[in-house]
Amino acid sequence: MKFAAVKPSKKIFETDKYRLTFHNINFYEILIKENVILDADLLLEIKSISENNHLHTKSCILVEGVGFFNVTKEVRELGAEKKFSARAVAVAVYTKNPSLLLIGELYNKINKPAVQTKMFTNRAKAKNWLKSLMETDSNHNFNNHISQATK
């Protein structure tokens, strides 16, 4: 897979429910805020913003929760669909919450997401995993940008 050469730039979209941080066209973070119910409408809103900022590109995504949040069954099913995840290369989910970690592992086993999805209890390891997926690619621009985003 080839990635477009881009200059590093950071764009942030924030609501009372989430924060999206776009580091470049190939890497962004989704931070879900505490006590949020992540339902289909909210997920589709996040997807729309990400697609409007990453036109025609595939991206690595780091998802993080602040405290505890709920994910509906509909979101778990939607997020696992190939069509829904068409612009994702991989998803790393970082949480320190053991309950969310267990839910994430069950999601991987039951819903079988169309893109690589891995749970982490260490944020740096999550970012490094996403970066490692790109290191096999011959386009070093992506690696340089994600390295800057992970500092």
How far apart CA 71 and CA 73 sit, in angstroms, is 7
Q: What is the pLDDT of residue 136?
A: 58
* pLDDT: which is higher, 12 or 4: 12
Of residues 98 and 1, more confidence is placed in 98
Residue pair 15/48 in contact by the 8 Å Cβ criterion: no
Least Cα distance to 19 among 29, 6, 7 occurs for: 29
Q: Strand pairing of 59-65 and 70-71?
A: unpaired
pLDDT band at 121 (very low <50, low <70, confident <90, very high): very high
Kindly state which CATH superfamily the domain 11-126 is placed in: STAS domain (3.30.750.24)
User: How far is the CA of 114 from the CAs of 15, 84, 107, in angstroms?
Assistant: 28, 9, 12
pLDDT recorded at residue 99: 83
Q: Is the pLDDT of residue 35 over 60?
A: yes
Question: What is the DSSP-derived secondary structure letter of residue 66?
Answer: S
Q: Return the structure tokens found at 112.
A: 């079988």
Instruction: Judge if pTM exceeds 0.85.
Output: no
Predicted confidence at residue 135, as pLDDT, reads 67
Closest to 25 in 3D by CA, of 138, 149, 113: 149
CA–CA separation, 75 vs 27, rounded Å?
A: 21
> What's the pLDDT at 112?
92
Spans of all domains in the chain: 11-126
Which of the residue ranges 17-21, 51-55, 95-99 would you say has the lowest mean pLDDT?
51-55
Q: What is the per-residue pLDDT for 55?
A: 64
